[in-house]
Structure 1
């Protein structure tokens, strides 16, 4: 039965798994249904969630078999000892992959909205550091024992051998420091990327706050560092429970923070869904002339629209736009020109990619 510290691990794992799964599913809805732009960063985040699911399953079974229990417990549950160790080992493998892939997804999202060369270099450096320390820790975790199965069959002293545990601890420290640096980089850099954009101060603070949620995951990494030394403890499964708990928190927060930055279009989706029920019906493939200023009036982009353009670029799809909407503008000479839509309130949620207006609407405009 799950009890004591094992119960705490089960609860924490369930909570952060549920939160991360909800945000990823919502992200998929937004990217597939609302903005219709599913990119590589979205694919990587889905992979990270799959790995996090494996990590959570290992946590649940590990807590059931004895992670968080003292050695005395296994005097009466000897069959559970190697199962608990196997769940610990496999869970660490899933954890490392989850963090590597999730952080890579976040970095790719930031790379898509930055144009400053220095910021790009910093992001690529953070990605390289994330992969370097992650892959190093990954291979040391898997192959710390020869054969690999000796990790969970260590009661049989003749089944193999393991490397010096302090070598693994040093690698774990190195990974934790590298992970913390990466998290702080992708958490703090958005403030420098956004501050000079044409946006209101309130919008800047809101966007920076969302994009900087990665700093929260780095806090979990830092909190976990003092417990790494317990890898060498005789009461391994009992002493390392805090490592398992904070690893779950780190993975769940990283995935959640990376997915929250993509959910902004969801607000527009529900707003337009509610307003459409009170507005006039539109023919399929047609677009409103809400941005037309009138005959003989040239179109000029206002400061408000310029600020909206900068804000819009923070949430791009594969083509650096949230949709394929088109704005129709009446020029001074009476001609009709099509330009990319800048205002998200003018976008159809299900537009036809290259259609400006229906033939009847164009005929009426020409006669007008």
Structure 2
């Protein structure tokens, strides 16, 4: 049996590291849900399913490193190693397709949860339909690549044949890329039409734009497929496996980031406030910094944060203006929060949305815990 190549060992290290990172991010996602006392939504279940398929793909990669001779030329492999290498193709394709589809559905379900704009929710549901159709269509296309069945790949028979695998892969990756572009662009017009500070719009756009990473990975994969269309499949398998798994690893992380607002409010913000509000601070900031994050459900009562649709100067904000602005923004009340980080003792302002009356009340509490 061939020994693992350097490329295969590097792929194994990447697999172990990113698997741990994905577990951490999913764990933080559910910790955030517990902190905010919110229920588990459809987007949470979809991200779990995506992670399960990512684990399955990681297991396929680990098995391939030690049993298929990936990274070697096909002519150097035994018949068993070559069969094992070819068996990886359907296993990797099925887990990748299900994993990327689950990630897309998770993001779209999150969209419908945090936006209350009817037109936007309708577009999200339509995109969900396209995503499910993509998954079913290309699963059928790939599993019918060979006649009489997919085992023709590693167990060739005289009366059977297989289509060119690169055609199906290019079609699948290209369609997947187009769907990711649609999902990325979908909220942008609505976000930039909101009545809120330009800085906040930019921050929200950046959060949604993390999907550009997966788009870049898919472009890399398409280029690699075209460039190496006639090359030795087993020799190029480490690169193909890396682009395939890296996309899924990043999908899990990107899908979890927008849900971590309660983690920021509970742990990160108090630590930053303690650091910037210490006695060693020479001068106070006239304009405190804000961290825009995504939340969900009712959480613990927190100090030092304001609703993102609130005024830049909450003390002087006119309640009527805030009510009208919050109504125009058409976000769910738990969609976004902005964490106020002050470098000196600051009043604690709380703007709480009353969902039953669609109004906002302002309460001003003086924080007396700071001392000079």
2:15 aligns with 13
1:111 aligns with 2:116: no
Match among 174, 183, 187 for residue 186 of structure 1: 183
Counterpart contact for 1:130–1:182, Cα < 8 Å: yes
Structure 2 residue runs of 5 or longer lacking an equivalent are 274-299, 305-316, 337-349, 366-372
| Partner SS state of residue 67, structure 1 | coil
2:132 aligns with 131
- 1:89–1:261 CA distance, 2 compared to 1 (3 A): same
Counterpart contact for 1:55–1:91, Cα < 8 Å: yes
1:120 aligns with 121
Alpha-carbon distance, 1:174 to partner: 2.3
1:79 aligns with 2:97: no
Structure 1 residue runs of 5 or longer lacking an equivalent are 276-285, 291-298, 318-326, 330-336, 347-368
The structure whose Rg is larger is: 1
Between Structure 1 and Structure 2, the one with more helix by share is 1
Alpha-carbon distance, 1:226 to partner: 2.5
Alpha-carbon distance, 1:54 to partner: 0.3
Map 1:199-278; keep pairs closer than 5 Å. 199-229=196-226, 233=230, 235-270=232-267
Between Structure 1 and Structure 2, the one with more strand by share is 2
Alpha-carbon distance, 1:92 to partner: 1.8
- 1:341–1:311 CA distance, 2 compared to 1 (3 A): same
Question: RMSD in angstroms over aligned alpha carbons?
Answer: 4.0
Alpha-carbon distance, 1:250 to partner: 1.3
Measured against aligned partners, the alpha-carbon deviations of 1:69-101 in whole angstroms (never above 9, x if no partner) come to 2113314xx432222322332122111100011
Measured against aligned partners, the alpha-carbon deviations of 1:9-49 in whole angstroms (never above 9, x if no partner) come to 32333343333332122112212343422101101111110
Range with greater deviation from structure 2 (253-262 or 232-241): 232-241
Range with greater deviation from structure 2 (141-150 or 175-184): 141-150
1:60 aligns with 2:62: yes
Range with greater deviation from structure 2 (206-215 or 221-230): 221-230
TM-score normalised by structure 1 residue count: 0.70
Range with greater deviation from structure 2 (171-180 or 117-126): 117-126
- 1:231–1:141 CA distance, 2 compared to 1 (3 A): farther
1:3 aligns with 5
- 1:328–1:202 CA distance, 2 compared to 1 (3 A): closer
| Partner SS state of residue 236, structure 1 | coil
Alpha-carbon distance, 1:109 to partner: 0.7
2:48 aligns with 46
